[in-house]
Chain A
Amino acid sequence: KAGVTQTPRYLIKTRGQQVTLSCSPISGHRSVSWYQQTPGQGLQFLFEYFSETQRNKGNFPGRFSGRQFSNSRSEMNVSTLELGDSALYLCASSLGARVGQETQYFGPGTRLLVL
């Protein structure tokens, strides 16, 4: 079974631009969660989508948004990029019945650098 895939793997943007990241979950998984990892920090939860609906949201500004498609693929968008948005963005998928009580499987991440 193919794992979680994320595209692109690396991205360089400038301040003020916007960016869209993509995530394809493991086949049969209906929940997709997004995390931001910065140096010295753990994985900071952004949001979680299930059946095309945002089910949970972390404490990030509205510049961070996402969506999920009917095939469970998900995209994350960051508008008006700031230098502090430079990070590794990770996507994780799970079956979705009870996200806080099931194993999430991670993709390789997208490394975003904002100049």
Chain B
Amino acid sequence: DQQVKQNSPSLSVQEGRISILNCDYTNSMFDYFLWYKKYPAEGPTFLISISSIKDKNEDGRFTVFLNKSAKHLSLHIVPSQPGDSAVYFCAAGGGSQGNLIFGKGTKLSVKP
């Protein structure tokens, strides 16, 4: 049973517009959430994180929103750039889990 779900395998956005990537989780004990970006043939790169005591965290063009009641988080990228084209993974940790649980990823394509 998937505890972290990214229901959109892919997303296409025009350069300069907003990209919104979504992630749902089932375990209410999760209290730490992260987003990673991955290019082909490379390891994931950490982007941004948020703990459950917050509902928003911002870092430059990247903002993560957490809705605990809906068990949902999202990553907003504004403005989107062609270099943002990659696979984005969300991950969650905490509770009885001693490790991070990852979603299957969403492939973002930003078109010039």
Question: Interface of A with B (CB < 8 Å)?
Answer: 4, 6, 33, 35, 40-43, 45, 48, 55-56, 58, 90, 92, 99-109, 111
Which residues from A are CB-within-8-Å of B34? 103-104
B104 touches A40 (CB 8 A): yes
Which of B13-21, B43-51, B78-86 lines the interface with chain A?
A: B43-51
Name the CB-closest residue of A to B44.
Answer: A106
Query: Could you list some 27 contacts between A and B, CB below 8 A?
Result: A6-B43, A33-B99, A33-B100, A42-B6, A42-B104, A45-B100, A55-B98, A56-B99, A58-B99, A90-B43, A92-B43, A99-B100, A100-B95, A100-B99, A100-B100, A101-B32, A104-B46, A104-B100, A105-B46, A106-B36, A106-B45, A106-B46, A107-B43, A108-B42, A108-B43, A109-B43, A111-B41
B93 touches A100 (CB 8 A): yes
Q: What's the minimum C-beta distance from A83 to chain B, rounded to whole angstroms?
A: 21
B46 touches A99 (CB 8 A): no
Chain B: interface residue total (CB-CB under 8 A):
28
Q: What's the minimum C-beta distance from B66 to chain A, rounded to whole angstroms?
A: 14
Q: In whole angstroms, how far apart are the Cα atoms of A102 and B46 in the complex?
A: 11
Given the interface pairs A99-B93, A105-B46, the reply to whether A41 lies near B104 with Cβ below 8 Å is yes
B31 touches A101 (CB 8 A): yes
Q: Is the interface of B mostly helix, strand, loop or mixed?
A: strand
Which residues from A are CB-within-8-Å of B102? 35, 42-43, 45
A109 touches B42 (CB 8 A): yes
B94 touches A100 (CB 8 A): yes
Name the CB-closest residue of B to A10.
Answer: B41
Name the CB-closest residue of B to A56.
Answer: B98
Q: In whole angstroms, how far apart are the Cα atoms of A35 and B102 in the complex?
A: 10
